[in-house]
Chain A
């Protein structure tokens, strides 16, 4: 990115895209109503794209702004606490796996998806003080893996096809 203004605009655009994807996700009716919290994680496409194309700082910035904005727009305080824990853990895990460089975007995305669930549940366990929620993680880890594969494939296509901004 040539200058700071251009970069700011680009990251703003990415944040807006992540928010729109989060909104689209809110509109999708829950697949299994008995188990809330199952999400595809569409905004993660943007985060993965930024992680590979720009770097950790940009990905982290957009991720945090997205979590805050989503909480303000569609969520509540508790939802924010879960999301930020998930987002931070997910981002750190993806960064580490990307650095180790033994898996493609799909593998990194799966790890990110599952770690997001782990962070959320861990935060919920701390806030609600119930260890029973651990059972819940088993279900969420499976759905997180499936959505991680889909998001990873989308992210890989974006990284491959979207031309570099000059």
Chain B
């Protein structure tokens, strides 16, 4: 009981005297923490290893896998009789959707993708294009 009472006195006195200093330290700590997290996030984002192929999935089924090394144009035809189109272009190691039949055109507006895990999705046509590394079992290159 005695110990607890002393503890209590100590906390209340420190809150009174060093309150401003501690509050400042709190703010510095939180700011430093958030900065560290943002730097870490940015680091992860920009240092993501580049992928070397894109996988096109239509409604969850693999439509095709294409290397990023070769410049190509792939017409992804979907819908009952292939009336829907997403034209995927691979150029200079990056993949983007050049033209799409979907009403919103979000996929066509998406910036070119080249890093592992990046993806472009066209929800109306149920098309998802994802960048991956050729041999996924080996995991990301540790040296890189």
- The interface of chain A, by Cβ under 8 A from chain B, is 1-2, 52-55, 101-104, 106-107, 110-111, 114, 131, 134-135, 138, 141-142, 145, 149, 159-160, 164, 166
Smallest Cβ-Cβ distance to B5: which chain A residue: A164
Q: Mark B57-85, 1 if CB is under 8 A from A, else 0.
A: 00000000000000000000000000000
Known A134-B44, A138-B40, A164-B4; contact A103-B25, beta-carbon cutoff 8 A:
yes
Selected from A55, A102, A110, A160, the residue in CB contact (under 8 A) with B15 is: A160
B29 contacts across to A, CB distance below 8 A: 103, 107, 110-111
Interface of B is mostly: helix
Besides the known contacts A111-B33, A149-B30, A159-B11, 12 further A-B residue pairs in the complex with CB atoms under 8 A apart: A52-B11, A53-B7, A103-B25, A104-B19, A107-B25, A107-B26, A110-B26, A111-B29, A134-B44, A141-B37, A142-B34, A142-B37
* B23 in the interface (beta carbon within 8 A): yes
Interface members, chain B 23-39 (any A CB < 8 Å): 23, 25-26, 29-30, 33-34, 37
**B4 engages A106 (CB within 8 Å):** no
- Give the shortest distance, in Å, between A121 (CB) and chain B (any CB): 12
- The interface of chain B, by Cβ under 8 A from chain A, is 1, 4-5, 7-8, 11-12, 14-15, 19, 22-23, 25-26, 29-30, 33-34, 37, 40-41, 44, 139
- Give the shortest distance, in Å, between B78 (CB) and chain A (any CB): 25
- Give the shortest distance, in Å, between A23 (CB) and chain B (any CB): 29
Selected from A101, A102, A107, A134, the residue in CB contact (under 8 A) with B30 is: A107
B25 contacts across to A, CB distance below 8 A: 102-104, 107
Selected from B4, B26, B34, B40, the residue in CB contact (under 8 A) with A1 is: B4
Q: When chains A and B are docked, how far (Å) is the Cα of A55 from the Cα of B23?
A: 22
Selected from A52, A55, A145, the residue in CB contact (under 8 A) with B33 is: A145
Smallest Cβ-Cβ distance to A109: which chain B residue: B26
A106 contacts across to B, CB distance below 8 A: 23, 26
B139 contacts across to A, CB distance below 8 A: 131
**A135 engages B44 (CB within 8 Å):** yes
In the A-B complex, list the 10 residue pairs whose CB atoms are closest, starting with the nearest: A107-B26, A104-B22, A138-B41, A141-B37, A107-B29, A103-B25, A106-B26, A102-B25, A103-B26, A164-B8
- Give the shortest distance, in Å, between A7 (CB) and chain B (any CB): 10
B26 contacts across to A, CB distance below 8 A: 103-104, 106-107, 110
